[in-house]
Amino acid sequence: MKYALITGGSRGIGRAVAIKLAGMGYHILLNYKSNHAEAETTKAAVEAAGVTCELLPFDVANKDHVDEVLGGWVEAHKEAKIEVLVNNAGIREDSLFIWMTDEQWKGVISTSLDSFFYVTKHVINGMLTAKFGRVINVVSLSGQKGLPGQTNYSAAKAGLIGATKALAQEVARRNITVNAVAPGFIKTDMTSDLKESELVNMIPMRRFGQPEEVAEAVAFFASPASSYITGEVLSINGGLYS
């Protein structure tokens, strides 16, 4: 059985990615923090594709929690192959820098960046042993160009871009690729508080993207079609680059 692990998979981009990878034949390990009802909805959609979906509730920013739940699963399933890891979990806590609290800074950095380290550490060894793997990190337009009010989020996602490029070089000889997708404004719960009617004027395509459009890019990086691409960041932003 080949598995794909998606963090932050209960809703939005994570849900769309889980459903897409299920359609490619992957059994899904679905991580989420607390929204069990939404995770169950995603689980049902994944299983409709004819594969299994196992829910792994843990806080990706809590090392002990990651070690206990994900580390425990890996230890208990030594014959299983997690071929695809999608580091999707992230939160926004927007504020102008001068008013940003320690909690807003640390929470966003840890959920997007520390989680990459904690989660990937448990998965990469199996990929190295199998001499195959696909690590796909969900970053952001904010991490590429910076956005006002998002110093914390921009820093976290820019850091993840750097980590993507560095790790890609370390594991390439073992047929493991490490890439990132950088969504712009995507219509999800995370962007529901934004003024879409105003922001679309900044976007050449004049609309927000859909989670399924991001999932298509993730699927490309998970597929054999991208086997000679690593350390790359693919933007999905409707033309909004500067």
Question: Is 16 within 8 Å of 191 (Cβ atoms)?
Answer: no
CA distances (Å), origin 78, targets 27, 58, 74, 75, 136: 16, 20, 6, 6, 22
Question: CA 5 to CA 154: how far, in whole Å?
Answer: 24
Question: CA 116 to CA 121: how far, in whole Å?
Answer: 8
| Buried-exposed string 207-229: b where 16+ CB fall within 10 A, e elsewhere | ebbebebbbebbbebbeeebeee
Report residue 212 as tokens: 């399924």
- Would you report the helix, strand and coil content of the chain in percent, each value rounded to 5? 50, 20, 30
Residue from 3, 26, 118, 153 carrying the catalytic annotation? 153
Burial (CB count within 10 angstroms: exposed 0-12, middle 13-18, buried 19+), residue 140? buried
> What is the number of other CB atoms lying within 10 angstroms of the CB of residue 103?
9
Question: CA 43 to CA 133: how far, in whole Å?
Answer: 23
The question of whether 153 is a catalytic residue gets the answer yes
> What is the number of other CB atoms lying within 10 angstroms of the CB of residue 78?
7
State which amino acid sits at residue 206.
R
Catalytic residues: 153
